[in-house]
Every structure is written in structure tokens, then in C-alpha cells.
Structure 1
């Protein structure tokens, strides 16, 4: 069955960009006239996934949202943005006290990384940076009055990489994962010490699926 014309055109553009990225500098220097650099490739993806918070043993939904990326043909440098809609979490503190909160990932810096080859695989290696913000925190259904400025003191750095044994396709997307630390919170009112007892820690994970790449001309 023939592919739709737009899909075929997108695949051709993607292949051309990756081929340009794969040409080593030594090969280019062998030509008397250096060709003009290929333009960057701008691709939007659908993105959805989860983040697991180790200390509370709870999951936070990520998306659905749009991952917007720009890949440089020469070298494969990648930048992008992943706006995460407000989500929520709930867990039991000390095993029995129900806690709930609204969660915002506030972008602290654009995503940076690379799209390149690892042996026979095409892989993404990237890092996103967010402040983790909590609002509408409730304990046993009662408001904890954390206000609107309760967030991590420093941005959290979240790796989003192609897992071992998997490959990323610039048109169809792929699977991205990472493990990250959550630091201490501030400006959470009287509950600041409790939140810092319950939430910060290591071993938190991101599991993200990106798909349906749309190359922007």
C-alpha cells in the first residue's frame, strides 16, 4: 500500500537531515567548495507518560501534551520544550494518612541534548529542567494552606533518554526514560517541614512515549 504523500515527504526530509548529520567533517574538508549547511529540522510530537515519585510511592501523569523539538543537521544538537499540563498526585503518609495535591512542572530551561547514532541505533540523550510546584495540598481531605508559591528551591534536572536496546525514529518517535532527584521545597507555609520530610529524594523516574512526529517546513 502506498504511503500518503505528506508522510513520504516527511520521511524524505527526515532522512536527508539525518544523512547530513552523519557526514564527518573530514569528508566535507575534501571538497574545495563547502556546501551550504542544512537547515535545522523542527519536529512536534505527541507525548504522554508518567513520573513515579519514589519517596511517596506514587505516580504523576505526564500529558497528553506536545513535545516541540529542533534538531541541528550538523552534529545532531537537540533543543525543545515539553509543557506539562497541571496534574495531581495522592498517597498515604506514614502508611495511613491520605495526602493529595495538584502538581505543576514549571519549565526552568529548554530541553537540551542530542539525536545521534549509538552503534546501529538512533538514540536521544536529553535533559529537561523544571521547578516542581505543589498547590491545593490536602491531608485527610483538609486543606494544608500551602499557598501558591510552594515549589522546589532549585530546578529538578530530568534525563529523557532512549533506553538501552531501543531506538528512536525521528518521524514515528519512541520511548524516553530517566531517573532523577527531587530537592527540598520552600515557601510552603507551616507545612514546609512536612513536605520536605515526605517528598524529596532520589530514585524518581520518568517514562515518556513520544509519537506522531510532524515535521514543520
Structure 2
């Protein structure tokens, strides 16, 4: 049996534990672009008068791009309202622009930032009420990152250039600062290794090399760590929900942006495997309290779901005395329910019906470097963390009435079980 440092094993877990499902269906799919809308409160200085202004930022980001390729930021706009008293007297219309920086930073300790200057236009807008709503639009361009990982894109404080139609045709510049206790991150993009590790420059439709995408600075690589990119994986399995006494399918799900970290100094060190899982929504059906037919859409979201829709996965692979390599994986996801029907009648649970805390799952099992393996919980394991996972209580359920206790009573509790089979998405020929 070869030592794990030579096997280049990649063990990942993408566990979609279907809350109380009797049957479910899901499909593996390429990640779709993500449209993000976020409101950020600022204080803007009009002359010497500070005024609160909330900017509603909208942008479309790709979910994943190959390393070195541009990360396009599309459909970008800012929407904000100004009180009439912030404008010069007798103002009839306002036009102008907005300038700001978008920041790209890799999700890593000591990662460096790259700024992308953005200029937006405000079309002439008539003043017709006590509050003027303005929209600024433009094309920010793109960022690019030369290192695989997650690129987080954040919003910088804007500066307004306002040209008002009034008695003096006033031109004013208004600087804004982000209010405290807010996360300026708009979203994140997985930067994955290309099929070939040869660096291919991005090109325009005319075939010229792309030059307008500033590249995020790569962190200094650790000379003692070898990074091996890996092919996409598929995950299938089952989960058992104790309160319902039912088994439910898991997946199929797809893992992308996979790589394994090899210790170049210590050949006996464990392999650290990392990747990100695409967990598409699934339709679930179950009997609540053993008699009430319930249908719903279940989503499994990363801990930072506000800015990200890919679930990070990490596993440690070691060689055991029996000569096999074993993988241990840990995953944390929120569960969110929507489109709920009880006995065929719609039940309005709102948009924030979620587990109150992330579901924490540990799995362990033998894993073959080339053909995959089986990872699972075990109620008889000597390790308490591997004996099962707990479904926490639900919160935020119910648009018109409190429904969280209903879903908590139906499904929450300990000692739920999961088992997944991991395999190459595109099996290699023998």
C-alpha cells in the first residue's frame, strides 16, 4: 500500500442532510451566476452637514472562474435617496456621477488587496417630491487572480459628483464614509485551477490579450507545501432522520476548486484536502409527526451564505495500521426551507426559515486515492463526534405566524446519521 503522500488522495464531503425527508430529488449542475443586492449605510458630507445615506448595491458575479481569467462584474448599479433639503434651493433636476473602488482580496490570512476603480453615471433626474431617488450605473470592468482560492469582492466608500439645475447650476462633490459595524463584502468567486496548468492569457473577442483586468496579488507560496489540483468529484449518499425514522437520498452534488496540500518535508504528514461544493436545492417530502404530508424545497448554505453560495469542504487523510488510507471530513451548513406545502396547501414560511445555527457533521471512512470511498457517521464509534449529527432548532419561519416551533418539533434532535460515496465526476479509463 503506497504511503498517502504519494497517493494524491482527495477526500471531500458535500453532505446535504435532507431535513426529515422521505423522498427527494436533486441534480448536479454548473454553478450559475449570482445576482447580489446589498444595502450599506453611509454618512455623506453635504458641505459641512453630515447626512445618512443608504446605498443599495446590485451586481452580478460569476460563481467560479478559471485561475488567471477575468472575473467580470456585471449589471452593477447604486440606488440611493437624498432628502430635498440636501440640495440647493429651487433645484429642478440632478445629474452627475459616482466614483468608488471595488476591492478584490483572496480569502486567506495576510492576503493582499487589489483595487478596481469604478466610475458610474447618474442620468438627469427631475426633483418631484421631498425625497429624490437617484440611480448610478456603469461597467466596472473585471478583476483577475493568479492563485486558486476564493476572491472576495468588497464595496468602497463612494464619492458623489452632483450637478444640480438651480439658480446657480451648482456643482458639488460629496464624500461618504461607511457606517460602523457593517460588512462591505458584496460577494465572492471561486477561482479554480484550469484544465491545463499552463497559464493562458485572457483574450478579447478580437483575439488580443486582455489588459484591463487588474490582477489580485498572489500570496507568497509556502515552499514546504505542494499544491496538487484535482478533478471534480461527485457525492451521493443517504441520511437518516431519527425523529421521522426515514432515510433520504443525498445529492448528487458536485465538488469544484479541489486541491490537496502535500507536505514536501515530512512524507508521513497527513494530506490536507480542500474544495468547494455545489449543493443545488432539492425537493423534499416527508410525514410531519408521522401523519402530516409536507413538501418543501431545502437548501444547504455555507456559514457565510450572505456573500457566498459554495460550501467549503476540508478533509484530513491519514494512513492507518491496517494499511488503508482513511479520510475524516467536517462540514458546516445552514438548512433553509421554502415553498412549503402541508397536505397540499401552501404554508408561507417567509424567506428566512433556517436552522438557528449551522448543522455540524463529521464523517470518517476508508478512501481509495483513485476510485473514491465511503465516509459516514457511526453510532457505535468510540469518537462521540462521529456518532451522528444534531439538527438544531429552526428560526425565522413564518411570514404571518410563528412556525419555527413546528419545524423544530418535526425534525430537530441528535443522533441523525449520514453516509456518502465520493467518486470522480469523470471516471478515468482503466
TM-score (norm 1): 0.75
- Who is 1:132 aligned against? 335
Residues 121-146 of structure 1: per-residue CA shift (max 9 Å, x gap): 10111101100111112211111110
Task: Give the Å deviation of 1:213.
Answer: 6.6
Larger radius of gyration: 2
Q: Distance in 2 between matches of 1:94 and 1:130?
A: 24
Q: Deviations over 1:125-182 (max 9, x none)?
A: 11011001111122111111101210011111111321xxxx3112211111122111
Equivalent residues of 1:48, 1:64 under 8 A apart: yes
The size of the alignment, in residue pairs, is: 183
2:242 alignment counterpart: 54
What pairs up with 1:90-109 in 2 under 5 angstroms? 90-108=285-303
Distance 2:424 2:288 in 1: 39
- Paired with 2:331 and 2:240, the residues of 1 have a C-alpha distance of 16
How far off its partner does 1:95 sit?
2.7
State the match for 1:177 in structure 2. Answer: 376
CA RMSD of aligned residues (A): 2.4
Cα shift at 1:47: 1.5
5 Å matches for 1:1-217?
A: 18-19=5-6, 37=224, 39-43=226-230, 44-68=232-256, 69-74=258-263, 75=269, 76-108=271-303, 110-119=312-321, 120-162=323-365, 167-178=366-377, 179-189=388-398, 190-212=402-424
State how far apart, in whole Å, the 2-side matches of 1:41 and 1:53 are: 37
3-state DSSP of counterpart to 2:278: coil
**Which sections of structure 2, spanning at least 5 residues, go unmatched?**
9-222, 264-268, 304-310, 378-387
SS in 1 for 2:403: helix
CA offset digits 1:85-121 (Å, max 9, x no partner): 2112222223322112111111226222301111111
Instruction: Report the Cα distance in structure 2 between the residues aligned to 1:111 and 1:79, rounded to whole angstroms.
Output: 6
**What's the TM-score, normalizing by structure 2?**
0.40
Unaligned runs of 5+ in 1: 1-14, 22-35
